Structure 1
Amino acid sequence: MGKSIGNEEISEQELRTLNEPAENQDLIAFPEWTEYRKKNGLDPLGMQNSSVNLYQSLLPGISNVTLRMRYYGLYAWLAQRYAKEIGDTDPNNWKRHVRRAEALYALVATHHGGEPGVAGTDWATRTLEEAPDDTIDFKEAAEPGSEAYYLKQAWGAFGAAYRSQLFDIGIFDRSDDHEIPLPSKDLGEGLAQAFEHSLGSRAELYFRLIKLGSVNHDELDELAPLLPSRIARESTEQKFYEAILLSRASAPSSGALARKLSILLILKVADFLEREPRADEVRWVLYAGHDQQGNILSLDDPSLEAQRSRWWVYHANDLCHIAHEALLKFTLDTLGDYPSGLGMERLIGRCAQHILSEISPVPETWSALLEGLEPASNAFDASDPDSEVSLTNEIIRAGRDDARICTPETAAKAVRLLAILHRRIDLVGADLTEPLGGFNPDAFRSLLSETRFLDRHREAPFGQTIERVLEERVIRRHLWVALRKLRHQGDYTFLIESDDGKLRLREKDGPVFTNPRLGPAITFLKDIGLLGNTGLTEAGREAIYS
């Protein structure tokens, strides 16, 4: 089940980090479309992939780089129009049309002041500023293999982000005879026609300009209704998008049902908060069941409660790997004080000693620590220093490089976060086997594997348990993951190197949240008019209460 270690979906490699303290997470991080992020060090403990697999199942059909809903209609229309008017099954010709459509879309968006989430706007800004006359030629920038590209990715935003989701949702079907995608009979063709109907005569203009490869300013003015923010309310196109997200009439597949339930939860949280929620707020409210002021989220729907439980497991799993990655950062920072290196035993001993010095009183066993814990009544209460959100914010501030140091106090908070998670699972009787039990325990570490490890050492001396966590779940785990990446992917991602019986620091890494597609989902809901800056719109309220 899932992907190999270090091979997360493209969004996890290309997004600017969303993993700052919660107060800084109110902006969507858009992709660095023209650059690929360095993959070295990604998921250094092989724990993030279990979270990625969870959120992929919770919000299928949306990814972290499918940033605007209207691209779904644009590609459906383009595929339908290409089949009717071009019909060439050469993939390179289809690629050329895709790239020209995207380049022209970027020019339209930039000409009208720019909109976030449109691929190629950096190129479009330069091109419009530097155009010698009224005519802007985009043929060369869109030509496959061109050095003057609007986007470096061979298949543009279509290949890098949207193609897989179009098939996942069922907007596209595969042909038995060629590689060119076709709109599916009902959803794909219906969405394509609705998109064209919304544009009217401008659809003809748009396709003509795609074939021509150039555009003038008057034509860019005329194409304004194409913008992703211009989906007409109550239009057939808008209703298609709403059906994709909510599938109110039916949810024919498990993926459609999961997407529907997660989208409804986002809308419920928006109604609960009485404003547009940030992505990080959605995950914390679904985990805690409260807002930060302690108000209780009431869903009154067993299917939504069940979906919230799945999001609870996802978020708890994320907190688990954040705690382990903080211990990794502490280990790396400690090792950095010894340029000549330290033996494994000495490094573990020093790290454990420093952590224990911050815990008072030191419990006899892990079991004794759990018995003395009373998790916060509201895990999202930032005013409670022992809540999960407070501990996590402190841990994240330890950073991932030399700019900040993970102190023994922070490492001790990571241990406490692990214990609180373990204790909360015991108290609520959370079932981790169904969502996490299918992962290969070697390739995928998760909240389930780590709590089982701690269960096996409940009655061991507490200091010994901390040492075993540091050695087996952090240091040796990282070395195993890095070796696997080297063997299977050719990536050298070792943060620690072993030489002549000593461990030496090579690079640093640290705690980081995964990004569960909530930001794009919120933007989609705004695009189709179900969410606004002040929260639920009347259409959004109708969607969840009708």
Structure 2
Amino acid sequence: MQIETAWVKPPLQVGGLDHLAVQAPCINIYGRMLPGITNVTDRARYYSFYPWLIWSFDKAGYHEFDDSFVERFRRADCLFCLIAQRHAAVCGGDADDHAAAMVGSDTLAAVARSLGDEGAIRLSDFSLREGATKRYFANKLGGLGQYYLGVLRELSILDGDSSSGVRYTRQVGAVIAERMDFSVDRQLFMSVVDADLVTASQLDELSSFCPCQLCSSPGEQEILSELFFVKNGFDESEALPRRRSLQLILHLAALLCANDAELSETHFRACTYAGSLPDGTPWDIPRSLSTTRERWAIYARNELLSLAVQGLFFALLDAYEASAIRLYSSADIADWFIEQPEVSEALDVLGAETTFSQCVSDSQSWLPELTGWQKPMHEVQLTERIATLTRARKSADNRRDIVEAALRTLIALASRNNSTERQYADLVFEEDYFGYYPINLESFARHSSGNWAPSKLRDVLRWLLINWGLEMHLRVALRKLRGQSQSTFRIRPSDRGMEVIAIPPAVHTRPRFNQAVRVLKDIGALERSAAGWQPSAFGKEQLELADAP
């Protein structure tokens, strides 16, 4: 019998995301609500610039997708960023209007600032994939390949991939490209790309390419607004949630501005959840947008559940790591944690021996009205506190406060819930979806009105630490290890017992709100006022589409 031995390389240890699979339903929901906008598609003008660039290459006779094409493309991508950075430096004001989220900014911002009035930049010093002085971006097709290609294909603006080549579509991409071409100097732009050298004066001459100039390109502004607001040739039913969500943001922006409140992701999440403004007054929403607000409220409710569960997981791992003890099972760790003084103190505040159902009834004495989300004991503020504390200096006091805030959040969610209703309303998930993501609003409703209800709060906490904490994490990490050959364990079994690898803080998902707001600013639907951002006249016109089919 022949026996062979060999070294087995350990799996790559990575940070990973969503260690408890609790954020997935949130991500699923906001993906449906803002299709065509992602967390990395920050600027509206890239939706026109990339098809324009490939269309322009085609016009210039560059048809072959070869190394020469790719290098020319990368020089153009660099140039686009340099134009925005130069315009920001020359014009002053808010640099974000010009250069926020421009591809390559981390490298090229300082280069543009140091240019002076007589300087010049060799584009290939930053665009070359091999041999660049300081490469602006690693991806073969720069920002297109890394961020925008998937969305532009989804919107039928571009076709192809980074291997076989990227093409503009004639029915959409070419039309957008032609609209942009009316307002920019294609000849100068292409001559700079071909020369591989740009001067300060040329960057100034090319300022019409800056993203802040989109509103000065009427045809381009019009077609991009039609795209984002799902009008005319872009009126596909599956894209309508994008229109409604953008309109909802515009509607909220007007009210927040009138109340001297910031248009922020935090306010959007809280206002949609509670249906009220920061001062507690109801958010009077047009009927056409009420369903959209309700769907975003479901997202926000799932987000609150996510923060509470993540907070408990953080506190457990933090205490276990600080103790330097080693235990061999999830149950043993949970039992040990519950006996810690900080956890006992948190439980005693709410009643460790009180049943969960009684805790829900007792919440009437401390839980604010749903609309009063600025009050400290509201679940919105409790979860913000969890997120803050998990990033603060680790201590027993912080762990106590996290556990208390997490339990209060779960009690608040149960108190406001009607378990007989569909927790996700008209949002339908694919079959067996929740088998992969067991921590969700449906399972929370079942447990809070079922097995948790007669159980003591202490026992509910133990159940959460084991089933929605340690065991869930091991299940998720093993699934990622099997499917991706990557180790995302934050705590894992070893010969010496369970050992902590890292302690993930409790984090929000990012529901594409900031990207949506940036798009609205870029296309001129939001304008700056003394009190903040508010809908422009153009933005108000888009709000009037609320009752359109």
* Aligned partner of 1:95 among 63, 66, 70: 70
Distance 1:501 1:404, change over 3 A: closer
Change (3 A) 1:459 1:399: closer
Superposed displacement of residue 361, structure 1: 3.3
Contact 1:329/1:510 (8 A) holds in 2? yes
Query: Which residue among 433, 436, 439 is the counterpart of 1:440?
Result: 433
> Is 1:319 matched with 2:314?
no
Is the aligned partner of 1:393 residue 2:393? no
Following superposition, the deviation at residue 402 of structure 1 comes to: 5.5
Instruction: Provide the residue aligned with 2:355 in structure 1.
Output: 365
Is residue 461 of structure 1 aligned with residue 455 of structure 2?
Answer: yes
Instruction: Within 5 Å, give how 1:235-314 maps onto structure 2.
Output: 235-249=218-232, 252-274=235-257, 277-302=263-288, 304-314=289-299
CA–CA separation in structure 1 for the residues paired with 2:436 and 2:130: 37
Aligned counterpart, 1:533: 528
Partner of 2:504: 509
Residue 141 of structure 1 and its aligned partner are, at CA, apart by 2.1
Q: 1:401 and 1:336 mapped to 2: Cα distance?
A: 16
Which of 31, 42, 56 is the equivalent residue of 1:56?
A: 31
| Distance in 2 between residues matched to 1:379 and 1:218, nearest whole Å | 55
Please say if 1:328 is aligned against 2:281: no
TM-score, normalised on structure 2?
Answer: 0.84
Give, in angstroms, the shift of residue 322 of structure 1.
0.8
Cα deviation code 1:457-500 (max 9, x no counterpart):
13442232221111111011111112222222222222223235
AA of the residue aligned to 1:536: P
Q: In structure 2, how many angstroms separate the alpha carbons of the residues matched to 1:141 and 1:320? A: 45
- Counterpart AA for 1:361: G
8 Å contact kept, 2:269–2:300: yes
Contact 1:379 1:389 in 2 (8 A): no
Within 5 A, what are the aligned runs for 1:134-213?
A: 134-147=119-132, 148-174=134-160, 179-199=164-184, 202-213=185-196
Deviates more, 1:305-314 or 1:137-146: 137-146
Q: Name 1:410's counterpart in structure 2.
A: 402
CA drift at 1:430: 5.2
Which amino acid letter does the alignment assign opposite residue 368 of structure 1? Q
The answer to whether 1:78 aligns with 2:78 is no
Contact 1:41-1:495 at 8 Å conserved across structures: no
Correspondence for 1:68: 43
Aligned partners of 1:279 and 1:522 also within 8 Å: no
- Give the CA deviation at 1:400: 4.6
Q: Residue 123 of structure 1 is aligned with which of 103, 107, 119?
A: 107
Are positions 1:219 and 2:232 aligned together?
A: no
Instruction: Determine the C-alpha separation between the residues in 2 that align with 1:80 and 1:537.
Output: 32
For residues 221 and 261 of structure 1, the distance between their equivalents in structure 2, rounded to whole angstroms, comes to 38
Percent identical across equivalent pairs?
25
Q: Which has the larger radius of gyration?
A: 2
Q: Distance in 2 between matches of 1:138 and 1:107?
A: 10
Query: C-alpha distance in 1, partners of 2:391/2:480?
Result: 20
1:329 and 1:400 in contact (8 A); partners too: no
Matched residues in 1 for 2:497 and 2:24: separation? Answer: 30
- 1:368-400: per-residue Cα shift (whole Å, max 9, x none)? 323333453235522x22212221122112225
| Deviations, residues 202-229 of structure 1 (Å, cap 9, x unaligned) | 1211122223221122211100111001
My pick for the range that moved more, 58-67 or 488-497, is 488-497
Give the superposition deviation at 1:401: 7.4
State the Cα distance separating 1:165 from its structure 2 match. 1.2
Where in structure 2 are the equivalents of 1:446-525 lying within 5 Å? Answer: 446-462=440-456, 463-500=458-495, 502-525=497-520
- Displacement after TM superposition at 1:320 (Å): 0.9
**Matched position secondary structure for 2:436:** coil
For residues 87 and 107 of structure 1, the distance between their equivalents in structure 2, rounded to whole angstroms, comes to 23
Give the TM-score of the pair, scaled to structure 1. Answer: 0.85
Q: Offset of 1:63 from its aligned partner?
A: 1.4
**Separation of aligned partners in 2, 1:289 and 1:351:** 37
- C-alpha distance in 2 between matches for 1:369 and 1:53: 31
Cα distance in structure 2, aligned partners of 1:286 and 1:152 = 38
CA spacing shift, 1:252–1:530, aligned 2, 3 Å: closer
Structure 2: segments with no counterpart, 5+ residues: 1-12, 90-94
1:527–1:428 distance in 2 versus 1, CA, 3 Å: farther
* Structure 1 residues 391 and 522: alpha-carbon distance in aligned structure 2, compared to 1, 3 A threshold: same
Cα-to-partner distance string for 1:236-272 (whole Å, 9 max, x where unaligned): 1111121112124476324420110110000010112
Superimposed CA distance per residue, residues 147-173 of structure 1 (whole angstroms, 9 cap, x where no aligned partner):
431112332111111111111222224
CA distance in 2, matches of 1:196, 1:84: 12
Larger CA deviation: 471-480 vs 129-138: 129-138
Contact 1:109 1:121 in 2 (8 A): no
One-letter amino acid of the structure 1 residue matched with residue 540 of structure 2: R
Q: How far apart are the structure 2 equivalents of 1:234 and 1:141?
A: 29
CA deviation digits over 1:89-139, x for unaligned, max 9? 325444323311110112212222152221223322444467797432112
533-542 or 372-381: bigger deviation: 372-381
Residue type at the aligned position of 1:61: G
The answer to whether the Cα contact below 8 Å between 1:400 and 1:508 also exists between their aligned partners in 2 is no
* Aligned with residue 412 of structure 2, among 394, 414, 420: 420
CA pair 401-155 structure 1, distance change in 2 beyond 3 A: farther
Q: Structure 1 stretches of 5 or more lacking a match? A: 1-37
Q: Is the 8 Å Cα contact of residues 251 and 257 (structure 1) preserved in structure 2?
A: no
Question: Is this contact kept in 2: 1:41–1:509, CA < 8 A?
Answer: no
